[in-house]
Structure 1
């Protein structure tokens, strides 16, 4: 009998909603963050996409509409105000390569500092307006953490880290991820910053006892309930 996997969450250093989920967990239940597995997700560049294609993996990434992009800008400001975050900045990403930051996270994780790297990268991106796709920014974060600045800032050029990154993205596809933040506890999945609380209750075993049980429809036998396609995400679970 296969052993039960630890609860996990997929985070993205690009996503403001992933940042909000991280801050919410850090401020209310840091012990949960310490007890679950962290896995990164990002939009791959051409090289990583080729590695995924070689393994027959296609990620559920669709182009964001202009209207949704403007909504996220507004929604992010609203959620920041609710959390008392007055110093949030919206970074300008010119030709971003998300491997630069996320493969650097793998290198930091190898040194047991992955969580510290996430905290520093989120701060750099969302509170200091720095471009975490620039190797110089990653080098500065590495130096701040006392890590190898050369290794972290050049992680996107490391073939082995590339392969490991592609494997993590492939794992996200196998887990059924379609947006971040994305949480998994056993067979249950939770998508979006507004699902942090129920995920925490599930991990801590404090589910509401008075909540009625509801059987979810089986997608295989209820195909008529599924959307036709396209960008079906909502802002609280992606972006």
Structure 2
């Protein structure tokens, strides 16, 4: 199969965090071998740009019952993976700052370092990653200019790139996170990682051989 797999991830989702962690343990070169796309609830400005491209945001907000279930479920999964988890409290979150800062980090060649820093802040320490000071601290740990990282939502070029990421998600029918797409294959959720690996790894190992 031609082309590279696409991985849609979100700093908001604990399932994305847990899946990506297990993916990288299994395939340490995953970030280099895949095309990564951040996925988040867009604000009005990004949403308007997405609509201007002809796209929509497929994700539907979860119910309180589902949220409570997810809290217990992800804690159980984290313990199984031997990971320490601090559940953050999101109060009127604005998801552009961490996700657009990741786009800035990618331009600087430090996407992986920033990814690790921001997920540790959110899931390791329970910090509010939508706050500018949290983004700045993660950027510093990643070796980035903290002010430019925190100002990513004000950069028109990064805003355009952000809308294009969500538009590609729309074209790929992404409705939840994490989400893998490779050719005609689509895999959604933590419990579909093995199914994705069963398809992708044999093919990549055969290509290397």
Measure how far apart 1:193 and its partner are: 1.0
**Is 2:69 the counterpart of 1:71?**
yes
CA distance in 2 between partners of 1:23 and 1:62 (Å): 25
- Name 2:49's counterpart in structure 1: 51
Q: Which entry has the higher C-alpha Rg, 1 or 2? A: 1
Post-superposition CA distance 1:187-209 (Å, at most 9, x none): 101111111112122222269xx
CA distance in 1 between partners of 2:85 and 2:192 (Å): 22
**Is 2:22 the counterpart of 1:17?**
no
**Is 2:29 the counterpart of 1:31?**
yes
Q: Does structure 1 conserve the Cα–Cα contact (< 8 Å) formed by 2:58 and 2:173?
A: no
**Is 2:124 the counterpart of 1:127?**
yes
After TM superposition, the structure 1 = structure 2 runs for residues 186-197 of structure 1, keeping only pairs within 5 Å, are: 186-197=183-194
- Name 2:58's counterpart in structure 1: 60
Measure how far apart 1:38 and its partner are: 1.0
After TM superposition, the structure 1 = structure 2 runs for residues 145-224 of structure 1, keeping only pairs within 5 Å, are: 145-205=142-202
- Name 1:116's counterpart in structure 2: 113
Q: Does structure 1 conserve the Cα–Cα contact (< 8 Å) formed by 2:6 and 2:182?
A: yes
CA distance in 1 between partners of 2:26 and 2:110 (Å): 21
- Ranges of 4+ aligned residues in structure 1 off by more than 3 Å: none
Measure how far apart 1:34 and its partner are: 2.5
Number of equivalences = 204
Q: Does structure 2 conserve the Cα–Cα contact (< 8 Å) formed by 1:11 and 1:18?
A: yes
CA distance in 2 between partners of 1:106 and 1:181 (Å): 18
With normalisation by structure 1, the TM-score equals: 0.81
Measure how far apart 1:17 and its partner are: 0.3
Post-superposition CA distance 1:132-186 (Å, at most 9, x none): 1011111111111211111101111222211110111001000111111000121
Q: Does structure 2 conserve the Cα–Cα contact (< 8 Å) formed by 1:13 and 1:19?
A: yes
Q: Does structure 2 conserve the Cα–Cα contact (< 8 Å) formed by 1:91 and 1:131?
A: yes
Post-superposition CA distance 1:75-106 (Å, at most 9, x none): 11111121122x31111111111110000000
Q: Does structure 2 conserve the Cα–Cα contact (< 8 Å) formed by 1:21 and 1:193?
A: yes
Q: Could you say what the CA RMSD is over the residues aligned between the two structures, in angstroms?
A: 1.6
